[in-house]
């Protein structure tokens, strides 16, 4: 149980983070662009991202905590399988990108929305979109490494 419970939480958090980014990228943002004028669209995207990021904060924290817990339960950091090392390394890059989005770009976007500076808000949202796309691709690669890597 000291392994499978963290694994369960780990997979749930990974699914939330990566699946949530896919939903934002493929469904929410394109629908907002197709149906809403810029002021309403940017307010709606700021509100949606704010709520999503609260969930991501929790997921990322639990993802790393359960990952480390499983490594310790499995005997520690020495002699880890390459796929675990790769998972951890790519996840650290994803974390750095997420922290940058959260602490810098998204904050600037919300400020611009509050000031009704729509072109600035749209530019910041576009940066969020590009960075989330990078993290989405990395997240899919981590899923691949974590599972297909079992073969090697």
Nearest to 49, CA basis, from 115, 117, 126: 126
Q: Which spans of this chain sit near ligand HEM (rule: CB under 6 A)?
A: 7, 10-11, 14, 17-18, 63-64, 67-68, 70-71, 84, 87-88, 91, 94, 139, 142-143, 146-147, 150
Residue nearest to ligand HEM (CB): 67
What is the closest distance, in whole angstroms, from the C-beta atom of residue 46 to ligand HEM in the complex?
24
Nearer to ligand HEM, 64 or 118 (CB): 64
Nearest-10 Cα torsion for 57, 60, 66, 71: -150
What is the closest distance, in whole angstroms, from the C-beta atom of residue 28 to ligand HEM in the complex?
20
Nearer to ligand HEM, 34 or 76 (CB): 76
- Residues 12, 55: Cα–Cα separation, whole Å: 12
Q: What are phi and psi of 3, to 5 degrees?
A: -110, -45
Nearest to 130, CA basis, from 21, 12, 47: 21
Nearer to ligand HEM, 70 or 125 (CB): 70
Q: Residue 123: which residues within 8 A CB-CB, separation 6 or more?
A: none
What is the closest distance, in whole angstroms, from the C-beta atom of residue 128 to ligand HEM in the complex?
18
Rg (CA), the chain: 17
What is the closest distance, in whole angstroms, from the C-beta atom of residue 51 to ligand HEM in the complex?
20
Nearer to ligand HEM, 53 or 118 (CB): 53
Nearer to ligand HEM, 63 or 112 (CB): 63
What is the closest distance, in whole angstroms, from the C-beta atom of residue 10 to ligand HEM in the complex?
6
- Residues 37, 39: Cα–Cα separation, whole Å: 6
């Amino acid at each position: 149980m000291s392994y499978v419970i963290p694994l369960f939480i780990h997979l749930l958090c990974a699914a939330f983070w990566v699946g949530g980014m896919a939903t934002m990228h493929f469904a929410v943002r394109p629908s907002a662009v197709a149906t809403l004028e810029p002021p309403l669209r940017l307010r709606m995207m700021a509100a949606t991202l704010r709520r999503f990021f609260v969930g991501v904060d929790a997921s990322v924290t639990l993802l790393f905590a359960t990952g480390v817990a499983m490594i310790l339960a499995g005997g520690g950091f020495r002699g880890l399988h390459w796929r675990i090392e790769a998972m951890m390394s790519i996840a650290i890059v994803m974390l750095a990108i997420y922290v940058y989005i959260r602490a810098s770009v998204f904050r600037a976007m919300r400020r611009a929305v509050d000031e009704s500076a729509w072109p600035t808000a749209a530019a910041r949202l576009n940066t969020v979109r590009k960075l989330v796309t990078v993290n989405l691709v990395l997240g899919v690669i981590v899923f691949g490494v974590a599972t297909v890597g079992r073969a090697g």
